[in-house]
């Protein structure tokens, strides 16, 4: 299913410090923008020194990667899509979720560098792919679940990105209805189930 941190118990102080850094980053990002934001800025806002920052994250790109992963996982869990099985309704909800998340990320980072957009794309596609693989394995799909989920995750992310850039866009749910057949076809699924 979705990537999760290791199950070993983490020292509460480590968790607290990591959260301080993540929260400082989240607060500073819209104010300063990713490009202008420095490790020193983040460390000062979090109330830690740079060495402590580097003990948790190698650089601000790894911090961004962790933040996007965490926030997208929370969106999936909030809608309980990680605990669901494949259905047309759940796939539609996943499409709408990805659209809304991509639009929110793009709104926060309007002048984002290509590297920033690439990190967001990687995290979203990876988690969507893992979820779709999980759903396909649950229904006992005879197709290669990894390949189908990979194709569908690329299609879904690309469609969400296109939607997020439109000026007069439909509601996410309406758009999800519109593009559902395109994403489902990558999974080789129809209303009746798995194609022969």
What is the pTM for the complete model shown?
0.79
Residue 194 three-state SS: strand
> What is the percent of the chain where pLDDT is above 90?
55
In whole angstroms, what is the distance from residue 5 CA to residue 90 CA? 25
Residue 96 three-state SS: helix
* pLDDT of 196 over the 60 cut: no
What tokens does 181 get? 């057949």
* Mean pLDDT, all residues of the chain: 86
């Amino acid at each position: 299913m979705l990537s999760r941190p290791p199950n070993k118990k983490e020292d509460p102080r480590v968790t607290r410090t990591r959260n301080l850094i993540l929260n400082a980053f989240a607060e500073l990002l819209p104010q300063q923008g990713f490009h202008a934001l420095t490790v020193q800025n983040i460390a000062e806002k979090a109330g830690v020194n740079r060495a402590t920052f580097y003990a948790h994250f190698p650089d601000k790109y790894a911090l961004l990667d962790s933040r996007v992963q965490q926030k997208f996982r929370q969106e999936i869990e909030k809608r309980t899509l990680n605990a669901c099985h494949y259905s047309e309704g759940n796939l539609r909800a996943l499409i709408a979720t990805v659209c809304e998340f991509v639009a929110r990320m793009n709104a926060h980072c309007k002048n984002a560098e290509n590297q920033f957009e690439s990190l967001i794309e990687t995290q979203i596609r990876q988690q969507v792919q893992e979820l779709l693989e999980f759903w396909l394995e649950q229904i006992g799909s005879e197709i290669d679940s990894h390949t189908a989920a990979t194709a569908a995750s690329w299609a879904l992310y690309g469609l969400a990105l296109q939607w997020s850039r439109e000026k007069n866009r439909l509601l996410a749910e309406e758009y999800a209805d519109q593009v559902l057949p395109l994403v489902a076809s990558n999974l080789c699924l129809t209303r009746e189930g798995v194609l022969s």
